[in-house]
Amino acid sequence: MNLHPAVRLALPTILFVILVAAPGTRQAGVEGGPAPLLAASEEPPANVPLQELYHELAAPGDAGGPKVTVVEFSDFGCPYCGAFERETFPVLRREYVETGRVRWRFVPFVLGMFPNGEEAMRAATCVAEQGDEAFWKMHDVLFEKQDVWKASRDPDQMFRSYAVVSGADGDAFSACFDDARSADRVTAANALAHEGGVRSTPTFFVGRQMIQGALPVEEFRKVLDAATR
C-alpha cells in the first residue's frame, strides 16, 4: 500500500517506551488491548504524573480492547490542528474509536508560536481535573473558538467561561489555573514532545509509526485500517 509521504516510521534514535496505562486512566469496560506507545522515558519530567499529560478516548464494552493506540501531539493554537479536530477527528472518532478499533490519546503541548497557546493548554488541563467528559467538551470549544481566544489580549476570563460551559466548576478551575501545577504540566508535556522527536503539529504515533501533519481523512483511514487488521 502506498502511504502519504508524511507517514514514516519513528526514527531508531527515538527510544519510545511502551507503557501500560496507570490505574484509573482507562474508561470503564475497556480492558486488555495493546500496551500504548507514549513516552521516551519512564519518568515524566517536572514531577508531573504521566497520566496527567494525555487524555484518552476508548469505547466501553470491548472486552478484547482496541487493536491499536493512537497518540496525538497537538497545540490548541495551531490552525492545522484546529482544522483536523473540527473536520477529520469527528469522523475517525465515530468510525474507529467508538467502534472499539482504536484507543486515542491526546497530548496537548505548546509550540510557542501561537498567541495565548500556553494559557489555552493550562485551561484545558485544569478542566481535565474535573473529569474526562468536561475535558473533551473543553477541547471542542477551544478548537471551535480558536480564532476568538487567539485574538484576545486578556483571555483568562474567556477561558473560565469556556470551562463553565464545558461543565467545570468555575472556582475550582480558577484555583487550578492560577496554581503552578498548571504551568508544570506545560513544561512536562513540552519535554515529552521534545523527547519523542515531535517538531510540528499535529503529530501522531500509530503504534511505532509517526505521522506528521493533518492527513486527509481518506489517508488516515488507510493508516488505521492497516494498523487494525
2 domain residue, yes or no = no
Q: Say how many domains are in the chain.
A: 1
Asked whether residue 204 is domain-assigned, the answer is yes
Any domain includes 24: no
Interval 68-80: pLDDT, tens: 889 999 999 999 9
129 falls within a domain:
yes
Q: What is the pLDDT of residue 62?
A: 55
**128 lies in some domain:** yes
Per-residue DSSP letter, 108 = E
| Statement: the pTM of the whole predicted model exceeds 0.85 | no
35-54 pLDDT, tens digit each: 344 444 445 555 777 777 89
Most confident range, picked from 122-126, 206-210, 224-228: 122-126
Whether 159 maps to a domain, the answer reads: yes
Q: Specify the CATH number for the domain of residue 141.
A: 3.40.30.10
What residues have CB less than 8 Å from 48, skipping those under 6 apart? 181, 184, 185, 187, 188
CA 25 to each of CA 18, 29, 57, 132, 179: distance values in angstroms, whole numbers, following the listed order: 16, 12, 10, 10, 23
In a domain, 12, yes or no: yes
Write out the residue range of the structural domain in which residue 124 sits.
7-17+33-227
Which pLDDT does position 30 carry in this prediction? 30
Q: Is there a domain that residue 26 lies in?
A: no
